[in-house]
Amino acid sequence: MPQTPDRFPGVSDQEGIDFEESPDGAADAPGKMRYHNGAFSLYDDEGEFDPREVQPHAPTHEDGGSDELTAQDLGSGDAVSSKVMVTTGSGGWVLQNAAGAGFGTFLVTAESESLSGTTSGTYQQKLTMTTDDLPLGNYILLFQMLVTGTSNNTRTQVRVQRDNTEDVADFIVRLVIAAGAYQSAGHKVFFGISGVHTFDVDWRKDGGSGTAQIQWVRMAFWRIS
């Protein structure tokens, strides 16, 4: 006598399909699916999922190689070769050369290697350097000089300034032997500056006898971030 059909859920003989009752109603092996208490789930090689829900895609990354990015002209929308857009720091954007938009860019240098002397107590300008119109960023200034004098008690004062108002460095060298020389160097990092800036090195005779002298003055300024 044939078996009476079972009115209750059971296990299907069809390969890959499982309608078996389970407490959580989830498919439990690749290639199976399950419907339980209104919940429908499938199971593939990566695990269980609800096919009615949109499955997120894994983020992808495409290697762009070594080619430089180009920017669009803000007016025409045309691509501009070897340009990038840089913020001005005042809500706007400008196009800059791709080779001049990041670390080590906007480089400015100046030097005065000749020997200069003064007996005046008023500051004399030895070297000045002006930057381009800088985008907002962090920059570093490096400076060095050789300070000397003609007497064994010559006092030479040196200062480095930004925009003729901010002292970057200010020091006095007092000789202990005639024609003695002292190499001085330093640096300063400027955070969050923009626009045009001027740096200068000044010196004067602060006291003693003889002539206050300075030479081999050099400055370098560039963007670091």
Give pLDDT tens digits for 92-124: 777 665 544 556 678 999 999 999 999 999 999
- Residue 68 has a pLDDT of 45
CATH among 3.30.70.270, 2.40.70.10, 2.60.120.760, 2.40.160.40 for 108-223: 2.60.120.760
* Stretch 180-201: mean pLDDT: 94
- Residue 105 has a pLDDT of 78
Asked whether the predicted pLDDT for residue 155 surpasses 60, the reply is yes
- Residue 19 has a pLDDT of 47
Average pLDDT taken over every residue of the chain? 78
Asked whether the predicted pLDDT for residue 4 surpasses 60, the reply is no
Percentage above 70 pLDDT, the chain: 63
- Residue 26 has a pLDDT of 57
Asked whether the predicted pLDDT for residue 141 surpasses 50, the reply is yes
The gap between the terminal CA atoms of the chain, to the nearest Å, is: 87
User: Whats the size of the chain, residue-wise?
Assistant: 225
Q: How far apart are CA 172 and CA 186, in angstroms?
A: 14
Q: How far apart are CA 140 and CA 11, in angstroms?
A: 75
Asked whether the predicted pLDDT for residue 198 surpasses 90, the reply is yes
Q: How confident is the model at residue 185 (pLDDT cuts 50, 70, 90)?
A: very high
pTM: 0.55
CATH 2.60.120.760 residue window(s) in the chain: 108-223
- Residue 157 has a pLDDT of 96
Contact between 178 and 219 (Cβ < 8 Å): no
